[in-house]
């Protein structure tokens, strides 16, 4: 629910409780096994509160998705502000693999629910790509990575990692792929 005025503290707590419970249920892969009304009792709020904040299952999924994207973008900005540029980029890419590994059920649920809400997915994807672009640009400016590769290529690698999460040995291969991407981004040393 988007409003022009901030929510009261108790309303904000209830909204956050619903989002936290939804993330937990998404991660467990149980989202489609529950009636939508069950989220209210699981989160310790009334059904009216659920529908006031999230009138549909898709609205709840969209809010979770936007929260995840915002957290990842905040993480990228924090890393860029606190670490050398190349280290910030490497850390963020590895953090993305950690996020994918920790939230596989969430990713599957969101992909299923949000398939017809391409605008919401596009907006989130663009925000993440901009966060990666900022990290790549900073690392290129510092001379740590090539300046002829854009963030889209890095995002394609991350999407590929996420899409392959069901492979045996996925985590090791994902870490190896991040290393390969970082090696490919590294500016060649002149002889």
The CATH number given to whatever domain includes residue 33 is 1.10.10
Most confident range (mean pLDDT) of 86-90, 104-108, 145-149 is 86-90
Biggest distance spanned by C-alpha atoms of the chain: 68
pLDDT over 80 at 67, yes or no: yes
On whether both 100 and 137 belong to a single domain, the answer is yes
Q: Is residue 190 part of a domain?
A: no
Same domain, yes or no: 49 and 88: no
Q: Give the CATH number, domain containing residue 117.
A: 1.10.357.10
pLDDT in tens, 1-46: 444 567 788 888 889 999 999 888 888 777 777 888 888 888 899 9
3 within some domain: yes
pLDDT higher than threshold 90 for residue 137: yes
Residues 17 and 72 in one domain: no
- Contacts (Cβ under 8 Å, ≥6 apart) of 115: none
Q: Are residues 31 and 97 in the same domain?
A: no
15 with 104, same domain: the answer is: no
Q: Tell me if 30 is assigned to some domain.
A: yes
- What region does 114 belong to: left with phi over 0, alpha with psi -120 to 50, or beta? alpha
Going by pLDDT thresholds of 50, 70 and 90, the confidence category of residue 88 is very high
pLDDT for residue 33:
77
Q: What total of structural domains would you count in the chain?
A: 2
Domain match, 50 and 66 both: no
Range of the structural domain that residue 21 is part of: 1-55
**pLDDT value for 5:** 66
Residues 102 and 15 in one domain: no
Q: Are residues 95 and 175 in the same domain?
A: yes
Q: Please indicate, yes or no, whether residues 178 and 158 belong to a single structural domain of this protein.
A: yes
3-state secondary structure of 148: coil
Give CA–CA dist 104/84, Å, rounded.
30
Q: Let me know whether 115 and 32 are in one domain.
A: no
- pLDDT tops 60 at residue 117: no
For the ranges 31-35, 65-69, 71-75, 76-80, which has the lowest average pLDDT?
31-35
* Residues 110 and 83 placed together within one structural domain of the fold: yes
Q: What global pTM score does this model have? A: 0.84
For the chain, percent of residues with pLDDT exceeding 90: 41
**141 pLDDT more than 80:** yes
């Amino acid at each position: 629910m988007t409003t022009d005025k901030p929510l009261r503290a108790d309303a904000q707590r209830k909204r956050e409780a619903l989002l936290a419970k939804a993330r937990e249920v998404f991660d467990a892969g149980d989202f489609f096994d529950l009636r939508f009304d069950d989220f209210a009792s699981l989160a310790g709020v009334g059904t009216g509160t659920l529908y006031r904040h999230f009138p549909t299952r898709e609205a709840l999924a969209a809010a979770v998705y936007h929260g995840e994207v915002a957290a990842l973008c905040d993480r990228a900005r924090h890393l860029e502000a606190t670490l050398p540029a190349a280290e910030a980029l490497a850390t963020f890419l590895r953090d993305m693999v950690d996020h994918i590994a920790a939230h596989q059920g969430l990713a599957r649920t969101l992909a299923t629910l949000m398939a017809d809400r391409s605008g919401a997915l596009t907006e989130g994807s663009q925000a993440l790509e901009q966060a990666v672009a900022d990290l790549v640009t900073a690392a290129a400016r510092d001379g740590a990575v090539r300046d002829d590769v854009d963030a889209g290529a890095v995002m394609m690698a991350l999407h590929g990692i996420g899409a392959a999460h069901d492979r045996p040995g996925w985590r090791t291969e994902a870490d190896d792929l991040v290393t390969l991407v970082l090696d490919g981004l590294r500016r060649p040393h002149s002889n």
